[in-house]
């Protein structure tokens, strides 16, 4: 098995990188020739790594060397090759964001966790919500709104009181962010096949940004979101602690 190792800039991750490179030197190769990418860091670095290697369709085995490690395995410098060989694959499809600004510029980006719209100023955002081109909410007033994947449902989505979604459920979370109109709307669970469109109202007075993971577009006018089945991300997890188990366990944390 050929592996390549990447690490975040933290001292902990860099120290682990040196240890692993020395211990497994006979297995280490270039990114292009590697069968598996080993990522050392936290969830933010894992997202960065997955985005980086999307064009190469590489499997990624993460080990926690950061503060948050929901997408990571426990760290150990022992039996790395055997752990990778016995790991379970979790396939993820990212969200595709197509954003148009108030000046007519178009941007595209992929999101593994979520696509979120957020107000840019003290003025609350006013957003129309369409599902499959059907108007569902004429005017949502608040800080913003997001669409989250099952893998991302335990991140920002959960902090905004959105639901935790099981992997393989083929659903997405549509979650408002500090909304006070409609007053009783707490969000929705929609099929992964659904296409979501957000239209920003009164863009000049109430500017809104759109973010796909760590890619941000300012002053958006319209944002379309759908699951991109043409892209498959392959995460590797220890059998005793799969991502699916973590998502289930997250719902029982009090």
In which residue are the tokens 């999101």 written? 111
Residues designated catalytic = 43
Q: Under a CB-based contact definition with an 8 Å cutoff, are residues 132 and 195 in contact?
A: yes
247's tokens? 């998502």
Q: What is the largest CA-CA distance in the chain?
A: 60
Cα angle vertex 197, ends 193, 199, to 5°?
Answer: 175
Q: What are the residues facing 191 on neighbouring strands?
A: 171
Collect all residues with Cβ–Cβ distance below 8 Å to 51 and sequence separation of at least 6.
110, 112, 213, 214
81's tokens? 């090759």
| H helix intervals, the chain | 11-23, 43-52, 80-86, 156-159, 243-250
**What is d(CA 40, CA 144) in angstroms, rounded to the nearest whole number?**
32
Q: Distances from the Cα of 226 to the Cαs of 57, 100, 221, in angstroms? A: 20, 15, 17
Q: Under a CB-based contact definition with an 8 Å cutoff, are residues 119 and 125 in contact?
A: yes
Pick the closest to residue 223 from 137, 106, 93 (CA basis).
106
Q: Under a CB-based contact definition with an 8 Å cutoff, are residues 35 and 51 in contact?
A: no
């Amino acid at each position: 098995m050929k592996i390549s190792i990447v690490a975040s800039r933290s001292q902990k991750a860099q120290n682990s990188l040196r240890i692993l490179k020395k211990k497994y030197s006979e297995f280490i190769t270039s990114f292009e020739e590697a069968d598996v990418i080993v990522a050392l860091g936290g969830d933010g670095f894992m997202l960065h790594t997955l985005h980086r290697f999307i064009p190469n369709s590489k499997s990624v085995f993460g080990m926690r060397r950061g503060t948050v490690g929901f997408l990571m395995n426990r760290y150990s410098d022992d039996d790395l090759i055997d752990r990778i060989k016995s790991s379970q694959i979790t396939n993820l499809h990212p969200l595709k964001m197509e954003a148009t600004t108030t000046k007519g510029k178009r941007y595209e980006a992929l999101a593994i966790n979520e696509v979120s719209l957020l107000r840019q100023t003290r003025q609350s955002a006013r957003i129309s919500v369409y599902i499959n081109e059907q108007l569902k909410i004429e005017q949502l007033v608040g800080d913003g709104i997001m669409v989250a994947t099952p893998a991302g449902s335990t991140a920002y989505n959960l902090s905004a009181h959105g639901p935790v979604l099981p992997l393989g459920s083929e659903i997405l979370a549509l979650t408002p962010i500090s909304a006070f109109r409609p007053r009783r709307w707490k969000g929705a669970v929609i099929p992964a096949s659904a296409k979501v469109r957000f239209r920003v109202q009164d863009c000049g007075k109430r500017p809104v940004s759109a973010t796909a993971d760590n890619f941000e577009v300012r002053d958006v006018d319209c944002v379309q979101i759908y699951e991109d089945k043409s892209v498959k991300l392959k995460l590797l997890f220890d059998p005793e602690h799969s991502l699916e188990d973590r998502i289930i366990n997250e719902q029982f944390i009090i």
